[in-house]
Amino acid sequence: MTIVTATTNTPRVWAGCESCYAAGRLVGVWVDAIDAAELTAAQIHAGSGVDWSTEGCEEFVCMDNDGLPVSGEPSLAEAARWGEIYEEVGDIQWPALCAWVRSGSYTAEGDTDYPSVSDFEEAYAGCWDSFADYAEDLAEGCGLLADVPEELRGYFDLRGAWARDLAFDYSVETCETGGIYVFRSL
């Protein structure tokens, strides 16, 4: 019997109450980031024993996160926007998009810090064992040496000099499962 477990990259946040935190109480709830903006005071305080309606509990913030490509304490609305971006790129592409954002060479939407999904899709060249592997595949795919006789192809250093020069037009980030993510510079 084989047991299959599903893994997900769904970004989550721990939304907490600022007033309770200031009073020394850690009150909050873990939710998918996309749902953060819709949280109510009652949901954040559920099971805490705190009567939020009399305690002045009006300010809520994401005090922790799991799976967001940024650090700090985003607002609930900011966390929800990250959740929307996750929904747009999907679970499989999410780790690559996060790596692109962490690289600092991503393109932002307008005057925000959120990544442009369409630019990500244009920039993302996949996950590879090495940049040399990517460069060699690119050379084959575009027919770089198609007109060069087979006996002369060995004189072209695709995995060395050509890959090294090509790398100036890309950014590379480590993939958490091994290998690297490759992004074209736009």
Looking at residue 76, what is its pLDDT?
Answer: 96
User: Does one domain contain both 122 and 84?
Assistant: no
Residues 155, 75 share a domain: no
Same domain, yes or no, for 110 and 53? no
How many domains is the chain built from? 2
pLDDT for position 2: 47
Q: What is the CA radius of gyration of the chain?
A: 23
Residues 111 and 185 in one domain: yes
- Domain match, 103 and 86 both: no
**Same domain flag for 62 and 150:** no
Tell me: do 124 and 53 sit in the same domain.
no
Do 77 and 155 have their domain in common?
no
Which of 24, 99, 106, 114 lies closest to 67, judged by CA?
A: 99
Residue that is last in its domain, among 90, 115, 150: 90
**Domain end position, chosen among 59, 90, 121:** 90
Return the pLDDT at 5.
Answer: 46
Give the HSE-up count for residue 48: Cα atoms under 13 Å, Cβ half-sphere: 22
* Strands in the chain per DSSP E: 12-17, 28-32, 60-66, 124-128, 170-174, 180-184
For residue 98, the enclosing domain spans 92-186
Q: Which of 62, 90, 118 is the last residue of a domain?
A: 90
Query: Domain check: are 180 and 102 in the same one?
Result: yes
Same domain, 65 and 112: no
Write down the pLDDT at residue 1: 47
Output the pLDDT for position 150: 87
pLDDT digit string (tens) for the chain, length 186 residues: 445 445 589 999 999 999 999 999 999 999 999 999 999 999 999 988 888 887 788 899 999 999 999 888 899 999 999 999 999 999 999 999 999 999 999 999 999 999 999 999 999 999 999 999 999 999 999 998 888 888 888 888 888 898 999 999 999 999 988 999 999 998
- Based on the fold, state whether residues 36 and 105 are members of the same structural domain: no
pTM as predicted? 0.85
Pair (125, 53) in one structural domain = no
